[in-house]
Amino acid sequence: MNTSAKIKIGILSFAHHHGEAYIHNLRNQPQAELIGVADDDRQRGKRIANLNGARFFSSYEELLEAGPDGVIICTENNRHRPLVEMAASRGISVLCEKPLGTTQEDAQAIVNSCDQAGVLLMTAFPMRFSAPVLAVKASLDGGEFGRVYCFNATNQGELPTKHRKWFVDPVLAGGGALMDHTVHLVDLMRWFLGSEVSEVYAQTNRIFHANEVEVETGGLEMITFQDGTFASIDCSWCRPSYWPTWGGLTFEMVTERGAVVVDAFRQNLVVYRHDWQRAGWAYWGSDSNLAMVTEFVEAIRTQRPACVTGVDGLRAVEVTLAAYQSASSGLPVRLQ
């Protein structure tokens, strides 16, 4: 590959609301060229393409035949696999939205298809690129905190129906707040510790929005890692519709030399606009999505593995599915 040429990227689907943001991320990445977008919801895809001055392809196959170096897949959660396999079979690298799949079979097949084709597979875990998270990881790796004892984490947001209604569809999304929120934190904890999850216990409920959706809107996940570290994750769609932002991610890490508290979305200004009819957060700090897209482009350009892999996405799915199994049975679930 000519490392001086721009890396050509396409976006497949705008089902996930991050898809439109990735257009701007790619245009702020000097090594990348957005060749176009495709969406099986043609009306949605054309509208977003026109708003952003992007080329709209009539089908996913047509975009893939245009020869991108990589694609970003933003379909509904249960529709990732066919597009990943389609791209991999053409030798095209993939950045796939999280969760990688809604079943163990699909998530494993996604990883296998890219391995067999010899193409790059990256899972969209932007919190790996959050400035405060990176700072804590560097201090941890430098021995500043000593041993980690436990995490107390939250990922709370508003009911996502105003962004995309499929987020509360048990088939398309694969679940509710547990599926939506916990994979990010499971990934961060695995990354911090360099250890895999050995046991999961979870409880879920529909205290919030009980009459509006069929999926769980709140949950508590208790995790034990193979190195003995334990963690709790409070995941819910508990925020009111007038909350300043769609969600947030925090964790307290208790260590041998003290505790550190991280708020990944702290870099913001509060903005009041009449057309919003509520306060909103405008982020002024680091852009974790841009950093993630930059890593994808650079990994393709330099032909190296990405720092977040498909296996990372697979492991997060495994833990989340174990949490659902635990919530159903009322018992802890051991992971192999």
Exposure of 232 in the CB half-sphere (CA atoms within 13 A): 7
| pLDDT top residue among 161 and 37 | 37
Q: What is the pLDDT of residue 276?
A: 80
Which pLDDT band holds residue 2 (cuts at 50, 70, 90)? low
Q: How far, in Å, CA of 254 to CA of 303, rounded?
A: 38
Please check the confidence at residue 160 and state whether its pLDDT lies above 90. Answer: no
pLDDT digits 0-9 by tens, 105-133: 999 999 999 999 999 999 999 999 999 99
Cβ atoms 54, 79 nearer than 8 A = no
Q: Which residue has the higher pLDDT, 13 or 162?
A: 13
Q: What is the pLDDT of residue 275?
A: 83
Number of neighbours of residue 142 by Cβ within 10 angstroms: 8
Phi and psi at residue 270, to the nearest 5°: -90, 125
Say if CB 204 and CB 325 are below 8 A apart: no
pLDDT in tens, 238-258: 988 888 777 789 999 999 999
Residue ranges and CATH numbers for the domains of the chain are 7-125+289-307 (3.40.50.720), 127-286+317-334 (3.30.360.10)
